[in-house]
């Protein structure tokens, strides 16, 4: 990523944190602290690194993305993330939410091409000169509400097109074909993400998408690298962390709010997953504070 882009972004951010912009789907993240591998959820994001690098682990697969490549998470997925950063060389990235309607329209226009097949819902791809130019134009308008509102959607649409044309974008093309197994599992992930506190019955989730339980399990594991029960547990625990860290919920009420019936079991699962007890969640969330 060229220095002109970083220069523009440095005009918009100062201290560490997660910054909103005049575009709802675009955020800027900066941290000057190295962060060892720890659990974190990615949503439907395109992440472009402007400085330093990040490593994410999904089961036994490791992805590194930096200034030369970008990372795409086309579903809500729990990872383990390690961030390389220091005071002299902070980690800076753009986090861009994919607009499903726009991406569906774009992919419907793209002629069938040869793509590298991948079953997982995440991938990395190279930052091309076209994408670098789009990112420069995007960050150049972010300091102006007027320019962001008038020009932002068209610039993001161009970015989505270039990402959809990337050599590893096979999963995106399958995802936005509504009858595909990828689209069905994506629907289930959204259901889990919004109904995590309910009693989620696996056969019922499969039946809702007209899938057999065996097929459902196979495609779910291929796409997310988790079994359905593992995925549900991690979503619940990440939600719990947010409730405690962001909204000052007590541990007991948080456990019940995310669907646990036993507070001790919740505390055991939380500590095993995050490496610290629920009551300490506030401390680990400081670097993700949102700056308006």
Nearest C-alpha neighbor of 8 from the set 140, 159, 134, 137: 140
Give the CA-trace dihedral at 196, 198, 204, 205, to 10 degrees.
-10
Nearest C-alpha neighbor of 92 from the set 11, 4, 2, 13: 13
Query: What is the secondary structure of 203-230 as a DSSP string?
Result: HHHHHHTT--HHHHHHHHHHHHSS-HHH
Residue whose entry in the numeric block shows the structure tokens 């919004």: 194
- Total length of the chain: 292
Question: Encoding tokens for residue 58?
Answer: 């999904």
Nearest C-alpha neighbor of 141 from the set 153, 133, 131, 151: 151
Greatest CA span in the chain, whole angstroms?
54
Residue whose entry in the numeric block shows the structure tokens 């068209």: 154
For residue 283, the model assigns a pLDDT of 56
pLDDT tens digits along 180-194: 888 899 889 989 988
Structure pTM?
Answer: 0.85
Nearest C-alpha neighbor of 28 from the set 103, 127, 126, 135: 135
For residue 286, the model assigns a pLDDT of 46
Hey, what domains does the chain have and what are their CATH numbers? Answer: 3-175 (2.60.120.280), 181-287 (1.10.10.60)
Residue whose entry in the numeric block shows the structure tokens 């970083």: 6
For the chain, which ranges sit under pLDDT 50?
A: 286-287
């Amino acid at each position: 990523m060229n220095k002109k882009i970083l220069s523009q972004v440095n005009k918009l951010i100062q201290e560490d944190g997660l910054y909103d912009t005049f575009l709802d789907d675009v955020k800027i993240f900066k941290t000057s602290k190295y962060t060892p591998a720890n659990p974190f959820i990615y949503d439907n994001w395109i992440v472009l690194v402007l400085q330093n690098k990040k490593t994410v682990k999904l089961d036994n697969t490791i992805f590194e993305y930096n200034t030369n490549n970008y990372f795409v998470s086309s579903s809500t997925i729990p990872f383990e993330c390690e961030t390389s950063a220091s005071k002299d060389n902070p980690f800076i990235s753009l986090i861009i939410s994919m607009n499903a309607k726009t991406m569906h329209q774009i992919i419907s226009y793209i002629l069938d091409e040869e793509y590298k097949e991948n079953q997982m819902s995440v991938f990395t791809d190279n930052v091309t000169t076209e994408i670098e130019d789009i990112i420069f134009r995007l960050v150049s308008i972010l300091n102006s509400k007027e320019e962001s509102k008038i020009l932002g959607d068209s610039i993001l649409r161009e970015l989505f097109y270039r990402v959809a044309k990337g050599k590893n974008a096979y999963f995106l093309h399958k995802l936005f074909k509504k009858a595909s197994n990828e689209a069905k599992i994506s629907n289930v992930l959204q259901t889990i993400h919004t109904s995590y506190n309910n009693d989620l019955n696996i056969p019922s989730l499969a039946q809702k998408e007209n899938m057999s339980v065996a097929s459902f399990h196979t495609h779910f594991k291929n796409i997310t690298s988790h079994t359905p029960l593992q995925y549900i547990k991690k979503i619940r625990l990440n939600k719990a962390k947010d409730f405690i860290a962001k909204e000052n919920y007590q541990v007991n009420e948080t456990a019940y709010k995310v669907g646990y019936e036993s507070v001790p079991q919740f505390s055991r699962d939380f500590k095993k997953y995050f490496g610290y007890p629920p009551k300490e969640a506030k401390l680990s969330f400081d670097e993700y504070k949102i700056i308006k």
